[in-house]
């Protein structure tokens, strides 16, 4: 079965055609409604650069998981497999 979140497109950051995720900028919590297409790598990197994952971790996984369920799941998966 194909995941709903995975669709091919052009990444706004690196310009590659690959699986694309919608990144919201600014975050929804600040009223952001614009979404930017980013490949998984750039999307992860973006949030890593901004140290979002650490911030979210501190805020508590539950809140984050509700707000960013897909991203959170993916982050946890990648984080675990990277360590």
Which of 39, 53, 64, 72 lies at the binding interface for Zn ion (CB under 5 A)? 39
Handedness of CA 16, 71, 32, 25 (dihedral sign): negative
* 54 forms part of the interface with Zn ion (CB under 5 A): no
* 20 forms part of the interface with Zn ion (CB under 5 A): no
Which of 4, 7, 10, 11 lies at the binding interface for Zn ion (CB under 5 A)? 11
The count of C-alpha atoms lying within 13 angstroms of the C-alpha of 47, restricted to the half-sphere facing its C-beta, is 25
Q: Which of 47, 36, 31 is nearest to 13 (CA)?
A: 36
Q: Which residues bind Zn ion (CB under 5 A)?
A: 11, 13-14, 23, 39, 42
């Amino acid at each position: 079965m194909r995941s709903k979140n995975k669709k091919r497109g052009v990444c706004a950051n690196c310009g590659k055609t690959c699986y694309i995720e919608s990144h919201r900028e600014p975050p929804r919590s600040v009223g952001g409604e614009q979404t930017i297409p980013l490949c998984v790598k750039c999307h992860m990197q973006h949030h890593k650069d901004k140290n979002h994952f650490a911030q979210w971790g501190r805020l508590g996984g539950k809140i984050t998981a509700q707000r960013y369920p897909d991203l959170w799941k993916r982050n946890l998966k990648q984080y675990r497999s990277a360590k």
